[in-house]
Amino acid sequence: MDSAEYAPFQEKVIAAVLNVSRTVGQLASEDLNFHRSSSSDFTELLDEESERVLSLTSAVLKAATNGTDLQAPKLKDEDSIEDNWRGVVDVIDSLLEKADACLDEFTGVIKKLSPSQEEQAPIARKTTKFPTIYDYGPSKIPKPQLLFDQKVDNSDLGPFRPLLKSKPHAIVPLEKSLQTQQIDGKEGYPSPYDTEIRAAQYQKPVYENSPPIDYLPFEDTTATFVDTLDGVKEMLEELKEAKEIAIDLEHHDVHSYHGLVSLMQISTRSKDWIVDTLKPWRQELQILNEVFADPSILKVLHGSTMDIIWLQRDLGLYMVGMFDTFHAASALGYPKRSLKYLLQKFVNFEADKRYQMADWRVRPLPTGMFDYARSDTHYLLFIYDNLRNELIEASTPDGNLIDYVNERSQNEALQRYERPVYDETNGHGPGGWYDLLTRNAGVLSKEQFAVFKAVHKWRDEIARAEDEGFQCVFPKHMLFRLAQTMPLDMGSLLRTLSPMTPITKERIDDLLDTIKEAKVAGLTGPEWRDIAPPPKYAPKPIAVEDADFPIAERYEKSQFWGNTLDFPQPAAPLEYSLAASTEALRLSLPLPPMPSTVAEARQKFVDVKMEPISSPKAEPSPVATPEAPEEKKVFTVKELGGPRKRKVTPVDQPEKDLLTLDGFDHDSMDEESEAKQRKKARKERKAQKAREAAQAQADSTPFDYGAADSVLHAPSAQAPGMQSKHKRAHNPYLKALEAPSGVRHGKREIAGKSVTFRK
């Protein structure tokens, strides 16, 4: 699938995912528990669908973890999903990392591993267990780079100097080729074979249509494993006699910061070689430039983008006169350009990718991995013959497709390896944080963004020092988890990084200090959304002139408050300035107009004098008020209450003129009750006279606040000459005990989910 076909496919996938997400969201918003209780048929159907979804999810998780060290979580019911959610997230993260690697390989940014193929041999299928690269813990295989004659130095950030010691088939001498110059605004070394690659042209047989040469049967031939320098020299003598050779590489980049070329596969028409490129003398393989740089020998590769970089970075090898079958398939307009597709089309061979993610550092190579690597180049020359004939047939006088492939292959061969320099500020470049955040959408605050950048840089520094891949320090999902949680104590940090790699465990204190410092510095830093690129699928803004909907306008008058806020401004100058908050409150609430001066307030408001009550018989001054209909009084009838005390209304009439007492008929009382009521009335009148005398004295004498008693413990007011009696403290809850008991509490409602029904 090329880029032209991938774009519409990606749009379809995104549209399907959005529809599924929207449907799931709508289902989640409904009250399924209510519908479950309303219909038994619906309940059975819902349970069946739940079991089906769980079984499908378990099958997908099992397939995703097949061939990896991850254990597929078992999902039996809804509770098991929550209990095993962390395992599900780990599987999803692993799939996303694989998808990133595949997309990078497809676009040519990187090449995780070469698209190796395997012959369907019975002996290869017997091998089911093999070391994989998805082991992010300590390397179970001793690091071969520790034994290299030229030690790996990941701290060198200067321009990469080519490893060449000699230059076979040179047009420009080696000394002149190794001079620095300005390249893309930076000082660096050009390709030592720049002139030779541009001047190379295909030999005459490449432009001639001839029958393809059949490949030798895979089962009847064997490959030679080359792991000595003498074996390399013997192979070189045979390669010099060939007219076309096929080349492929196997690469490992998990337990190495820059990566390692682990194997080199070379095939002629009659023989295959597997070269061990992890030997201490690996740079002695530069002698192969006698063939690789010879323009008269055609080098056939498929998808050589990263192969060219790896060869010059690790081995100092360059390609002059290369034919890339990927560009040949592109020129012919094939629906697919992968080596798997070409093998199936021309050889009728179905590739098996069980060993694509194998750890190619293992020695000795298992039989299955050996045959898998050999099949990469065994059929490639036969595929080249078929592509060459089709290119010749499809060529026109105006455009020769062979020249097109030559031009594209030369551009691949002219690539230069540059050391990745960590860009802390902008995060650009291979392994930078910018591309990582762009691919993983999320909202990070200032502190979280600062912690993410600091921890990402810390991980890069540790990986460089230990010559390990980023994943071996801690994987990508751990990086995002640290940025979101920002643990500030050792316990939280250990829980966040669980399970922890030994490399991180040895430096856990340094990591904790890094997080603390970054969080403090992030308080004044930017957020990720301030520098994030706009979403790729964000809706385009609609121009105002193209819009078919009404444009919102601001009304001069409130449509809600009406004229409430419209009041005339005072003509007199204000004696004080209004604060901004008061003005904002006036604009938002319907406050009445307030006077601006004291004089205006006196004119607007009339002072009302409150006359002190001198006696119970004092009557209020008549005020002319409109008669209003008598309102119905609300009263409460209390039953089963205790006896209530009668109130006595004080009057100035003589006792003999009283016809009723406290609402009771005087004639209906006996003599003893009447005597008690009269005695109580006399006491009330004496107390009232005492209060009036005290009030009159208080009005005539100024109150002395200095000599006043404490407000907290003020004595009760008594009439002069009366003896002080100890009175029982008032209990406000006393009468509450006489009230009837309330309704009993019903059955306690069980806490649960509240439901709102739609009408």
pLDDT digits (tens, 9 = 90+) for 215-237: 998 888 889 999 999 999 999 99
Whether the pLDDT of residue 117 is over 70: the answer is no
Note whether 400 and 406 are within 8 A (CB). no
What pLDDT score was predicted for residue 698?
65
Q: At 660, phi and psi to the nearest 5? A: -130, 160
Q: What is the pLDDT of residues 562-596, one digit of tens each?
A: 665 554 544 444 443 444 455 555 555 555 555 55
Whether the pLDDT of residue 148 is over 80: the answer is yes
What pLDDT score was predicted for residue 614?
45
Residue 700 host element (H or E) = helix 671-700
- Count CA atoms within 13 Å of residue 547 on its CB side: 9
Going by C-alpha positions, the residue among 186, 169, 168, 167 that lies closest to residue 177 is 167
CB atoms inside a 10 Å sphere around CB 365: 20
Q: What is the pLDDT of residues 44-101, one digit of tens each?
A: 787 888 888 888 888 888 887 776 767 778 777 777 777 777 778 777 877 777 776 6
Whether the pLDDT of residue 134 is over 50: the answer is yes
Across residues 598-618, what is the average pLDDT? Answer: 50
d(Cα 92, Cα 213) in Å, to the nearest integer? Answer: 46
Lowest mean pLDDT among 29-38, 334-343, 400-409, 557-566: 557-566
Please give the distance of CA 172 from its chain centroid, rounded to a whole number: 53
Q: What is the pLDDT of residues 423-447, one digit of tens each?
A: 888 888 888 898 888 887 677 889 9
What pLDDT score was predicted for residue 256?
92
CB atoms inside a 10 Å sphere around CB 313: 20
Residue 660 host element (H or E) = strand 660-661
d(Cα 666, Cα 658) in Å, to the nearest integer? Answer: 8
d(Cα 218, Cα 348) in Å, to the nearest integer? Answer: 13
Confidence of residue 640 (pLDDT cuts 50, 70, 90): very low
C-alpha distance from residue 235 to each of 215, 224, 290, 686, 752 (Å): 20, 9, 12, 135, 78
d(Cα 589, Cα 160) in Å, to the nearest integer? Answer: 71
Highest mean pLDDT among 32-36, 319-323, 640-644, 690-694 belongs to: 319-323
- What share of the chain in percent tops pLDDT 70? 66
Whether the pLDDT of residue 692 is over 90: the answer is no
Can you say whether residue 184 is alpha, beta or left, with left for phi > 0 and alpha for psi between -120 and 50 degrees? left
Q: What is the pLDDT of residues 513-530, one digit of tens each?
A: 999 999 999 999 888 888
What pLDDT score was predicted for residue 130?
59
What pLDDT score was predicted for residue 544?
46
The mean of the pLDDT values for the chain is 77
What pLDDT score was predicted for residue 703?
61
Grouping H, G, I as helix, E, B as strand and the rest as coil, residue 285 is helix
Residue 225 host element (H or E) = strand 223-226
Whether the pLDDT of residue 694 is over 50: the answer is yes
Please give the distance of CA 657 from its chain centroid, rounded to a whole number: 93
